[in-house]
Structures are given as structure tokens and as C-alpha cells.
Amino acid sequence: MNLFIIGATFDVIGKILIGIAVLLVHNKIRIEGKVDVKVFREMYYEKVVVIIGILSILTGYFFHVRSGFT
């Protein structure tokens, strides 16, 4: 297996884990309910952006692997 593919795979996994960590923290804050409605609204938008980011990372990785990293 090519070292570039291994490196890119770890890069993608790391980025996705960071996104998941953000989602978990937001979920925990939402459950505790110690913030106001404005913060909840902002956290919802951040959650949407994180999900879109994770999907973009996965899509980019798929295209890179399929194209042979050219």
C-alpha cells in the first residue's frame, strides 16, 4: 500500500474524529441545558456545518483515492 494513501487515510480519520468530538460536546451542552436559546440556535448551525464538513472530507477522500492522488 502506498504511504501517501496511508497518510491521507489517517488525515481524513483525524479530521472526522475532530468533527465528531465537536458534535459530542454540543450534544452534551444541549442535554445539560445551561445555555439560552440563542446559543442553542448557534450550536444547531454549527452542527449542520460540521456534518457538511465531514461529508465534504469523505467525498474529497473518495475522489482522491479513485483518481490515484493525481
For the stretch 8-41, pLDDT in tens is: 888 899 999 998 988 888 888 878 877 788 887 8
Domains contained in the chain, number = 1
Query: Residues 38-62: pLDDT tens digits?
Result: 887 888 888 888 889 889 888 888 8
Distance of alpha carbon 8 from alpha carbon 60, whole angstroms: 11
Is 4 contained in some domain? no
Cell readout for 37 is 436559546
Provide the domain limits for residue 50: 9-67
Is 56 contained in some domain? yes
Is 2 contained in some domain? no
Is 51 contained in some domain? yes
Is 60 contained in some domain? yes
